[in-house]
Chain A
Amino acid sequence: MQLVVFVVCAVGAVAAGAAVFWVDSMARATFALLASFLFVAVDVLLLDLAYLGVLIILMMIMEMVVMAVFMIMYMMNPAGLMPMSMVHNRRGSLAIAVGTFLVLAAGILLIHWPTRRGAPPAEPTRQLGEALMGSKMLVMMVLGLALFATMVATVVLAQHRGRYHRYGDELDRRAPDDPIRGGVGR
């Protein structure tokens, strides 16, 4: 049963991934990529990593829908009216893709994998988290804070209108002067 699900999802993931470069519409390409990720999520669920698997489903749907918004903003092709191609440098990319696949597949088949010692842990997700971050929690937290501060700073610097635009040179305007009115307090 597990093997059947794995094979179906593995083949489905590869097929949906290939479909990304086959279809001629940005919307279809985005949702083909989403389908590929969802197949991978089911394979992660098969590893008993329930949290990670469901999280992949959750994050990938949100990510792909938001990506569709931006990609279509830049590459407009209303429902396939103006066909587009996701493929560039056809020969080169084909060679790279086939080469990578062969190297990885050869690695999987040729490496002498160790046999399992002991039983799988009760909570694989927690074990994985501790193995990844256990001794480096402080670094990770500082890093997270730095990343978040960077994001906020970038948005603030990229803002076209700052608080002086909104509240006047002396910052003494009671209600901000916004191009689109509405929201809190106005």
Chain B
Amino acid sequence: MIEQAPLWTVPVAGAVLLALAGGAAALRGGLAAGRASGAGTPGAEAARLLVQQRRSTVAADRLLWRLGPAAVCVAATLAVLVVPLGRWTVWDSPVGVVWFNAMEVVVWAGLWLTGWGANSVWGLVAGYRFLAQGLAYELPHMFALTTVALGAGSLRVGDVVAAQSGLWFVVWMPVAFVAYLVAALGMAFWGPFDAPAQADLAGGVGAELSGVDALLLRAGRYLMLTAAAAFAVPAFLGGGAGPLLPAWLWSLVKTAAVLTLLVWLRDRLPTVRMDRFTELSWVVLLPATLLQALLVAIVVLVR
């Protein structure tokens, strides 16, 4: 059902990701307009950062510092290669689910490098905050993905979509879906999990960034959020399945819907401290996802 698209579609996938992320940034700007001031439109802000001169700090580790924000952007772009748009996928990898997980983990390295490289206490603390948070959300996230692969009997994203032709996974794996959304917020350090980029650290990981690097980190955050929303569609929401509209349009509509929910959640929930989230994650979320995986395993065995 899902087929491999020709190689020239790689930039198309990147463009679609960028367009959706830009839309998310514009939506966020619109939602925050009543509260925050000074935030321009995404386009104007990007242009401002592009011409801004790069500042540096004393004894910064330039190489690692520049690598960090770029790694976040690259990771998000590589992650969407396995996400199908309707009938086509840029890379029909037999281990697409694992690939998405691996690219999402690149953000760990990217954020830590960004925080470390500046040789500034704010960034350093923020980098460690993200790792603490990452260790909390990663296992429930992995078990959510495992549950999806278990239900489909395959790690190929195309097979996962095909397995939902009767019933979407979100219906009988709701706990995994919730855990996935929590992790999606976590990996983009978004919403209640934005402790690594909080005002109490003067902006956290991005505190010392300026110019292109600041642009890359902010863009990377939206790109990662978009990539996570996009992967939720084939994993839980039936991929391009839907009435009337063509499959590719359904994929886009569903992605936009999940993305809107994630963006909207940001100002509705207070920031959760990493240590509280860690306990919640290990004591509540992890057993819940394990039970969900057990349930799905039993269903798969008996049917």
Q: Which residues of chain A have a CB within 8 Å of any CB of chain B?
A: 25, 27-28, 31, 34, 50-51, 54-55, 57-58, 61-62, 64-66, 68-69, 78-81, 180, 182-184
Nearest chain-A residue to B75 (Cβ)?
A61
Secondary structure call for the B interface: helix
Q: Lowest 3 A-B CB distances belong to which pairs?
A: A183-B279, A58-B102, A79-B119
14 inter-chain pairs at a CB distance below 8 angstroms, sorted by A residue, are A27-B64, A27-B113, A50-B93, A51-B94, A51-B95, A54-B95, A62-B105, A78-B124, A79-B59, A79-B60, A79-B116, A79-B118, A182-B273, A183-B279
Report the separation of the CA atoms of residues A65 and B113 in the bound assembly, to the nearest whole angstrom: 9
Report the separation of the CA atoms of residues A58 and B97 in the bound assembly, to the nearest whole angstrom: 12
Contacts of B45 in A (CB 8 A): none
Report the separation of the CA atoms of residues A78 and B59 in the bound assembly, to the nearest whole angstrom: 9
Secondary structure call for the A interface: helix
Q: Min CB distance, B100 to chain A, in Å?
A: 10
Contacts of A81 in B (CB 8 A): 59, 119
User: Which residues 60-92 of B have a CB within 8 angstroms of A?
Assistant: 60-61, 63-64, 67
Report the separation of the CA atoms of residues A78 and B61 in the bound assembly, to the nearest whole angstrom: 9
Report the separation of the CA atoms of residues A164 and B99 in the bound assembly, to the nearest whole angstrom: 44
Q: Are A65 and B109 in contact (CB under 8 A)?
A: yes
Contacts of A54 in B (CB 8 A): 93, 95, 98-99, 102
User: Which residues 162-191 of B have a CB within 8 angstroms of A?
Assistant: none
Q: Which of B67, B102, B112 has the most CB of A within 10 A?
A: B102
Q: Min CB distance, A152 to chain B, in Å?
A: 13
Report the separation of the CA atoms of residues A64 and B119 in the bound assembly, to the nearest whole angstrom: 20
Contacts of A28 in B (CB 8 A): 61, 63-64
Q: Which of A55, A61, A80, A81 has the most CB of B within 10 A?
A: A61
Q: Are B131 and A61 in contact (CB under 8 A)?
A: no
Q: Min CB distance, A40 to chain B, in Å?
A: 14
